[in-house]
A and B are shown apart, each in its own frame.
Chain A
Amino acid sequence: MSIVETRVLLRHATDPKLATIDGYRSYGGYSTLEKAYGEMEPDTIVNELEESGLRGRGGAGFSMGKKVSFLPHGNQTKYLCCNADESEPGAFKDRELMQRNPHQLIEGIVIASYAAGISHAFIFIRGEYDVQADILDRAVAEAYEAGYLGRNILGSGHNLELVVHRGAGAYICGEETALLDALEGKRGNPRLKPPFPAVQGLYGGPTLINNVETLSNVSHIVANGADWFKSFGTEQSPGTKVVSISGGVRRPGNYEVELGVSLRDLIYGLAGGPLEGREVKAFYPGGSSSPVLTPAEMDLPYSFEAMAEAGSMLGSGSIIVADDSVSIPHMALRTARFYHHESCGKCTPCREGTNWTVKMLERVVRGEATPMDLDIITSVQGNIIGHCLCVLGDSMAMPVSAMVNKFRDEFEEVIARAAINGLPTTEGLESNGDGFEPGPDGVGLEVLQRERLMGRPVPESAQAAEELPRG
C-alpha cells in the first residue's frame, strides 16, 4: 500500500475515551476554546477561518469563513445550526466523527459561535443515528458542566445554549432551509432563497449553517493557524477530508486523507480495490447526487476543483464503487427511486420529474422502452436541472443523465435483450413489489378503478403502482 491516511480529525479516534470530556482534554481538547476566549478577538478568528480556505464539507463546498463573515454584526439574536442530517446515499463520515469524537465538534461550535456572536446553537442529527445522538447528548451535558456552554462562558460574558435536535427520517431536512423549517417544528420543506439563512434563517434571525466535518475543523485551524491548514491539500481544496468509501470494494469505510490524493489511491490503495475477480465499472465520486465517473478518470486528484472539471463533484466526499457485476440501468433506477421517495413535492419539476424518471427507467429495465425513450429521459433531466426550488431535483437529474450518456450502449442493450426475450425483465422490480404501471396492453387505470369500486380483487402489483410515495 503506497498511501497512508493523514488523520487530523480522526487522530486518536480508535481510543474510546476520546468520546468523554476527560479523554478529549487529555489529548489537548478545549485548550483552543480557552485560548480563543482568553486572548482572541472574534474578528481575528473569522479572519483566520477565511484565510484558511476551509470549504464546507456538507456538499456545496462554500468557504466557511466567508459564510461567517456574511452574518450581520450587531447584537440581534443569531443562530448556528450544525447539519448532522447525513442522509445522502454513500455518506457516513459525520456518523464516525460524532461517535468517536463528539467534543471536537462541540468545541468547534462554541468557537464559531463566539466568533460570530451567536447565542443559540443546534445540532440537527438524523433520527436514525440514535447511538450518536445519545453520545452527543452526554457530551453536551459534560460541556455544560465544565462551563464551556451556558451563561457567561469562562467569564467572557458570551452565552451559548446548545441543543441536540433529532430529526425523524427525511433526507430533504439536510437541505439547509428545509432543516430550518424542521427545526421550527414544521414539515421540512425548503424555502425560496434569497433571503439566505445568513440574513434570515431560523426564527427569522441570521443563521450560520455548517456541516459536522466543517465545524470539527474549526478548533484545529484556530489552534494552528491558516498556514498550517493550507499545508494540507491543494491550493483550492486545503485541508484533510474524511472520505466514505463503499459499494464494491474490499475494505469499505471512512479514511481521512489530504485533499488532492488520487482516486486510485483511495479506491485501490486504501479501500483495497474491487472484490475478488471483479473490476471497477463506474463510481460516484461525491455521493449518489454526483455524476458517475469511469475507470478512465481513476488517476484524477480527489479535490473540489478536479471533480468539477471532470463534470462531477466532490460533494460530501463519499465514493460509491460499482463493479462489473452491477447493471447501470438498474443502478440508475435505484438512484432515481431514492430521490423520488425523498422529494418533498413542493415544486413541480422535481415532484413530477422524479416520478416520470422512475417510470421511464422501470420501462427500460422491463424492455418496454425504445432508444428514443433514452433521449426523453435525458431531456426530462435537462428540464429539471436549474428549475427547482432546492437542489434535490438536480441531485437526481445529474447522476441519471450521466449514466444514460456514459453507458448508453448498456441501456440500449438492456432494452433490446428484454424486448427480444419477449417477456419483460422483472429484475430489480419484483423484489420491491412495485414498479407495475398499467400500460396500453395491461390493465388500464379506469378498469382498475371500476374493479375496485365493484369490490372485485385488483392485481396486487397494480395496487402497488397506485400507492402514493411516502415522505
Chain B
Amino acid sequence: MDDFTPIEDFVSPGLPVDPANTTGREALGDPQGVPELSDVDCPDALRETIEASMARYPDHKSASIPALWAVQRTYGWCTPEGIRQAAAVMQVTPAYLESVASFYDLFRLQPSGESQVLVCTNISCWMRGGDELLDAFCAATGADRGEAGHGGALSADGSVMVSGFECLGACDLAPMASVNERYFGPLEPADAKTAIEQLRGGEEVLPDKALTARRLPGGDEESSDERVTSTKGPNR
C-alpha cells in the first residue's frame, strides 16, 4: 500500500463500517504467502499435534481438518493467528486453511465461550419440541434467540455459546442437545436451566439423560433364532 495517496479534504459520508473490517477476521500478514515457522509463535504442543497428524496421511495436506481441530482446541476457536501458526507448520497458505475452516460448521471463526451447546432443530427433534428447547437454552443463558438460530449466539456473560443445529444423528433422543460434544436427551425445556447451572457449577451435566447411559430400546434379550445362535463369526 505504499503508493496509496489519501485524498485531501475527503469527507466521510458517515457510513457505518462493517465491524468485520476492524475487528473480526482481519488478515494478519499476507494470507497468500506461506508463513515460516520462525515468523509465528506456535506453541510446541500445537506444532507437535499437527506434525503427528501430518505423519499419519500419505499426503500431509490431509491433515488440514485435524490441524484446525488442534487450533480450535488450543485457542477455543479458530483464531487468525492460530490458523497462521497451523499454516506455517503445514507449509500451506493461511488463506487455504481459512477456506477449509469456513466450509465446516463445527469450526468456529469467532470467539465462542468456554462451553458450546448445540440444540438440534431438525425434523425429528422439531416434532418433539426442539424449537422450544432452543428457546429454553437461550432463556437460561441470555443468548439472543434470533442469532442462536443463525449460527450461534453467546450467553449474556460470554461463557456459553448456544446454537441451533442440524440433525446430530441422535433422533432417538429427540429433542436433544449436544453440550460440549456430549449428547443428551430427550430433554424437557426445564432441563436447559439445570444443564446451564451444572455447567457453571462445574458439575456433571444431566447424568441420567446422557446418550451413553442409554440402553437399546428393544431390551437386553438376545434372539433365540437358530441361525444367530449357531454363528461361527463374531458376536457368537
Contact = CB atoms under 8 A, between A and B. Distances in A.
The answer to whether A and B come from one shared complex is: yes
A13 interface: yes
Nearest to A232: B227
B235 A9 contact: yes
B233 A11 contact: no
A185 B217 contact: no
Interface stretch (A246-254, A352-360, A369-377, A417-425): A246-254
Interface residues of A, number: 105
B127 A95 contact: no
A57 interface: no
B99 A167 contact: no
Interface in A184-231: 184-188, 203, 219-220, 222-224, 228, 231
Contacts of A30: 234
Interface string B215-236: 1111010110101100111111
A435 B169 CA distance: 25
A27 B236 contact: yes
Contact of B216 (A13, A31, A126, A434): A13
A288 interface: yes
Contact of B235 (A4, A12, A186): A12
B85 to A, nearest CB: 17
Interface string B123-152: 110111001001100000000011101110
Contact of A92 (B104, B170, B220): B170
Contacts, number: 249
Contacts of B147: 433
B149 A433 contact: yes
B126 A334 contact: yes
B150 A334 contact: no
B233 A224 contact: yes
A223 B233 contact: yes
A308 B175 CA distance: 30
Given A7-B222, A131-B212, A166-B65, A470 B151 contact: yes
A464 interface: yes
A307 interface: no
Given A12-B235, A27-B235, A254 B217 contact: yes
Contacts of B234: 24, 27-32, 103-104, 107, 219-220, 223
Contacts of A104: 234-235
A183 interface: yes
B168 A128 contact: yes
B117 to A, nearest CB: 13
Interface stretch (A82-90, A144-152, A379-387): A82-90
Contacts of A253: 172, 216-218
Given A7-B223, A185-B65, A432-B121, A248 B170 contact: no
Interface in A81-138: 86-92, 94-96, 99, 101, 103-104, 107, 120, 126-131
B223 A128 contact: no
Contacts of A322: 127
A10 B216 CA distance: 9
> Which 3 A-B residue pairings sit nearest by Cβ, starting from the closest?
A253-B217, A223-B233, A433-B146
Interface of B: 14-16, 56-59, 61-66, 68-69, 99-100, 103-107, 118, 121-124, 126-128, 131, 134-135, 145-147, 149-151, 164, 166-172, 174, 178, 181-183, 211-212, 215-218, 220, 222-223, 225, 227-228, 231-236
Interface of A: 4-14, 18, 24, 27-32, 77, 86-92, 94-96, 99, 101, 103-104, 107, 120, 126-131, 161, 163, 165-171, 182-188, 203, 219-220, 222-224, 228, 231-232, 244-248, 251-255, 270-271, 284, 288, 318, 320, 322-323, 326, 331, 334-335, 338, 341-342, 431-434, 452-455, 460, 464, 467, 470-471
